[in-house]
Amino acid sequence: MSSSKKSSDGKSSEIEEAVASLTMPFNKILLTSSDGESFEIDEAVARKFQIIAHMIEDDCAGKAIPIDNVTGDILSKIIEYAKKHVVEPDEDEDEEAKKKLDSWDAKFVEKLDLETIFKIILAANYLNFEGLLGFASQTVADYIKDKTPEEVREIFNIENDFTPEEEEAIRKENAWTFNG
């Protein structure tokens, strides 16, 4: 992060400022989705996607980067999240900011259906966006919490291939493995 140093007489050196602006991240990066949608974002936001951060480091990022595996609707959601999370507030330093951000996150996923969240997981995995991947995974896990196996099957379209006897046996076995 840039900070202008004050010289002893209190004036910021013009030369120092000029140097700072050269190294400051003014760059914009253009991302293109698989279905042709384009998104122009700040470099700082783009760096949240490790795969792009590496490209920038290796200097092989031109101004436009194609994201072949992700459609425009999903990419736009991911960018929306990334923009909000460019700077992660420290829980100890700024409790207030953390709470506000958590609240925004909650509203963000509330509007999304499970299919979209799965797509976000796949895309975040591809882009190597750790923060969103963790958050989205936690969100799906929350769907599973406090549900019976039958309810979980329904949500995730899982086919029950157990016979009733097998199901009972596996239930007992798992109860021992996971609760013992």
Least separation in angstroms between CB 109 and another protein: 13
Options 63, 148, 164, 165; binder of another protein; rule CB under 8 A: 148
How far apart are CB 36 and another protein at their closest, in Å? 23
Residues 34 and 70 sit within 8 Å (Cβ to Cβ): yes
Residue numbers 74-133 binding another protein by CB under 8 A: 92, 95, 113-115, 118-119, 121-122, 125, 133
Query: How far apart (Å, rounded) are the C-alpha atoms in residues 78 and 132?
Result: 8
Among 14, 141, 164, 165, binds another protein (CB under 8 A): 141
Contact 121, 137 (CB under 8 A): yes
Residue pair 39/6 in contact (Cβ under 8 Å)? The answer is no
Contacts of 55 by beta carbon, 8 Å cutoff, 6+ apart:
61, 65
3-state SS string for 102-119: HHHHHHHHHCCCHHHHHH
Binding mask 157-176 for another protein (x = CB under 8 A): xxxxxx---xx--xx--xx-
Q: Which of residues 30-59 bind another protein (CB under 8 A)?
A: none
Task: Catalog residues that contact another protein under the rule CB under 8 A.
Answer: 92, 95, 113-115, 118-119, 121-122, 125, 133, 137-138, 140-142, 144-149, 152-153, 155-162, 166-167, 170-171, 174-175, 177-179
